[in-house]
Structure 1
Amino acid sequence: MQKLFPDAAAALEGVLRNDMLIASGGFGLCGIPERLLDAIRDSGVTGLTFASNNAGIDNEGIGKLLRTKQVKKMISSYVGENKEFERQFLAGELEVEFCPQGTLAERMRAGGAGIPGFYTKTGVGTQVAEGKEVKRFDTGEGPQDYILEEGIFADLSIVKAWKADETGNVVFRKTARNFNVPAATCGKVCVVEVEEIVPAGSLDPDCIHLPGVFVQRMIVGAPYDKKIEFRTVREAA
């Protein structure tokens, strides 16, 4: 199976449609699938729901698609650095499902494992629990309430990695792994952009973070610019 495509637009051809759910990896601007997000923006699809830790910043990451009004809903845990996100949310233009960070990662992982739901104590007694089933379990510390969270089953997963071999086995670099692994596994189709493709068999099996069985399509996105969310410098002496 040929998994390598010439560019992001080609890799997404026949996959994109209006009103789809997309799981996107990354944390802030670290490990975000930049080329794929640009291609989604350029495709013109609308009514999108994104499951992602955050929405980038105003003109980077998913923030670009917020600017073009292509995003209908965000399932996120941290959204504090995007002014356009804030404006659309407060104006009632954007639906937001806030989700605790660990719960979001587990919802993606559950979807990738075919698990429709799980119980967690996180969010019990808060707005996070509103409208969700609450059940009491005794795990050895006495009966306690847990809320039911649903797994995320996305139509499309888009992630960014350091390198991959020709069969789609993927390695992430340091903290850029973040949400990319669970996001990659929970989609019907997973498209990965990487910095480098290496020959099959050249990666140490013990160092592979995402097996190729989860990956349907790949592109080489390099070269990349190093983007920094906050630049802090000391005053000149």
Structure 2
Amino acid sequence: MRRHFGYVAPCTRMPPESLVSGCGKRAKQIFQDGQWPDSEEGLRDGMLRLWRRKLKIVSELANGPEACVTDVPDDDLEDRLLLGKGFQSFIDCLAEGAKVQLDDPVKEVSQDGTGVTMKLRSGKSFRGSFGIVTAPSGVLAELHPDSAIQFQPELPEDKRRALRRLSIPYRGASTHEKVVLRWPKSDPFVAAKLAPPGAALQFETTDVRFHFLNLHKYGREGQLLCHIWGDANWEEHSSLGDEELALHVVNGLRAMFPKDG
């Protein structure tokens, strides 16, 4: 059984800017064209040729996974590109011939003039001419002693400041949450704000907690996605239940569109 690796959205689901070269004026014209992409001669056939070329390239890779497009997508208007076992195919490819150490995190990274030594929690160590550290920013910011990595010599102060800015403020803090709002397709709000020609892909708001994405324009009819950012200094957020959180989002939306209730 294949797993989904990624998907190729049909033309009707893709933002115009990703398919049309040129200025924003052309993209605006497309939004106001209810027959697009069929009205743009050759676009659909051109995209099909592009996807077929990509599939051919993937299938010809040495020892590469099988590539195909599913005939029955999970969602309407969506064609899914399947790649072998999914993302595991890439992991297996990268790990081929490499020694992988699991369940033994790095606790210390030491660098000198001849190379890098990484010491694990178990006491084991590995030596190499260089090292690549891809730990999360919260680990590198030493939010908790159990996961912290000691660097010798210490990281420069400017890098430590950058890590603290990139990281969540404390262990367990929220980072990013999504709330999906749904209306019946016949709802006046959908007709007035989500569906009309020229409706925005994203709705701007002065409320720094939220960012609204118009999913209706991507084929999810009557749906709006609210991103809640963990760096918005909304300290109350982590203590709210689902219903309370949804109410804050709805109130934020009402503040943006007071005439729509």
What TM-score, normalized by structure 1, do the two folds share? Answer: 0.22
Bigger Rg, structure 1 or 2: 2
Larger % of helix: which?
Answer: 2
Higher relative contact order (CA 8 A, sep 6+): 1
What TM-score, normalized by structure 2, do the two folds share? Answer: 0.21
